Copies of this chain bind each other. A is one copy, B any other.
Amino acid sequence: MTKIVAVEVHDVRFPTSLSLDGSDAMNKDGDYSAAYVILRTDDVDGLRGHGFTFTIGRGNDICVLAAQRRAEPLVGRDLAEVTGDLGGIYRELGADSQLRWLGPEKGVEHLAMAAVMNAVWDLAAREAGVPLWQLLVGMSPAELVDVADLRYLSDVLTRDEALELLQEMAPGKASRLAELRATGYPCYTTSAGWLGYSDDKLRRLCSEAVEAGYGHVKLKVGASLEDDVRRLRIAREVLGPDRHLMIDANQVWDVPQAIEWVQALAGFRPLWIEEPTSPDDVLGHAAIRRAVAPIGVATGEHGMNRVLFKQLFQAGAIDFCQLDAARLASVNEVVAVYLMAKKFGVPVCPHAGGVGLCELVQHLSVFDYVAVSGSLEQRVTEYVDHLHEHFTDPCIVRDGHYLLPARPGYSAELKPDSVLEYSFPHGTYWSKGFPA
């Protein structure tokens, strides 16, 4: 009998603020970071689970502490009991009413829950010897509905409806999977358009994106309208009329300002405006969407939990759902959001980038196409080309498509050397006194 014998949580921070990678109108100088969980077992072959949540620097230590507290009940547990009831362990960890008070189901506590449960799912997939997407695709509709967190959702999706949705998609799973094996899953790049980049760098990166086969490029906007007009003109020029251009304001506007600003950029025909205002403002997003159509509204990277997504769907507030694999409470909550998105006919285009988010979402997108939505229409998953070198099983992108991950697990394992180097504040990088 294999047991979980220890939980380690590491505060790993990469000094991305030095190069302004990741700079936008709200977040000018993030140090991309992970509160990184390792679940150790007494398995003789060294079976472990790895998971994380993503932060942008200060406060990563707070998530580390929260993940340590949240993971405590896992220590000493029989592995088969945990991985054999992935809905049960999720509900057990989430049911601590004292910790629940600190949210509920939002903020630091929910990020920590994501980190811990991501490690549990990685462990389950490794134990099964398959990539996470394959574990999910192989589950029956009843098994999937058991792991999905449907609490507070029954006014839009009952358990029976969820079962029915999944059962209807059973035919064609094999052919959709074969299709993805051949082509990969479509993605877009945000690497071109960070706000801190010069016009020349923007032009060069847009050209490189076109050459690399991307049909979609995203730019950050919202700091200066004049700059945005100039930068969008450059991007549209390089992309030509047919490729898609998306814009992302990272929550800097109030609702009336968002409408005005986006209308001023409409001539560049953006596919979507992302995070135009507070991520909590369901009714605000709905108002913006009505005002800026046919430009779409996208949000979700700060979508705090499934109850928020339920309302975004109910209110007709978004055209694109950008769930985040390290902010929602792992696969249990992510599956629930995919099921609701299917019912409401909203395409899910997961948020990625950061540290390791691309590694996670590639699994989710495969699962969505094969088992839930069965559609690639208007679906494109984010890809940002940095920090992949720190992962033992980095994602691979070719011609604007994620190739299917092949190794067991959730692709969430950081290289031990990277953890040693970038642990904050005592790793070899930070202890040299580089600026935080």
Contacts and interface: CB of A to CB of B under 8 A. Distances in A.
A67 to B, nearest CB: 10
18 contacts: A27-B100, A30-B97, A31-B98, A56-B97, A56-B98, A59-B69, A59-B99, A61-B69, A102-B107, A103-B107, A104-B278, A108-B109, A152-B254, A153-B254, A155-B284, A282-B282, A283-B310, A283-B311
Interface of chain A, helix or strand or loop or mixed?
Answer: loop
A281 B310 CA distance: 9
A304 interface: yes
Interface string A299-313: 000101101101100
Given A30-B97, A58-B98, A99-B58, A106 B104 contact: no
Interface in A279-295: 279-284, 287
B61 A277 contact: no
A234 interface: no
A105 B277 CA distance: 13
A106 B107 CA distance: 6
A28 interface: yes
B155 A256 contact: yes
Given A62-B108, A255-B155, A287-B155, A30 B98 contact: yes
B104 A277 contact: no
Given A58-B98, A101-B59, A311 B287 contact: no
Nearest to A154: B254
A279 B101 CA distance: 11
Interface in A53-72: 55-59, 61-63, 65-66, 69
Given A107-B107, A254-B152, A308 B280 contact: yes
Contacts of A66: 59, 62, 108
Contacts of A69: 58-59, 61-62
Which interface residue of A59, A96, A111 has the most chain B CB atoms within 10 A? A59
A52 to B, nearest CB: 14
Q: How many copies of this chain does the complex contain?
A: 2
Interface of A: 26-31, 55-59, 61-63, 65-66, 69, 96-111, 151-155, 251, 254-257, 277-284, 287, 302, 304-305, 307-308, 310-311, 314-315
A102 B281 contact: no
A434 B39 CA distance: 31
The 3 tightest CB contacts between A and B, nearest first, are A107-B107, A108-B108, A155-B255
B97 A27 contact: yes
A110 to B, nearest CB: 7
Contacts of A307: 278, 280-281, 284
A304 B282 contact: no
Given A65-B65, A97-B27, A108-B62, A305 B287 contact: no
A253 B264 CA distance: 44
Contacts of A283: 282, 310-311, 314-315
Given A97-B56, A98-B55, A254-B153, A280 B106 contact: yes
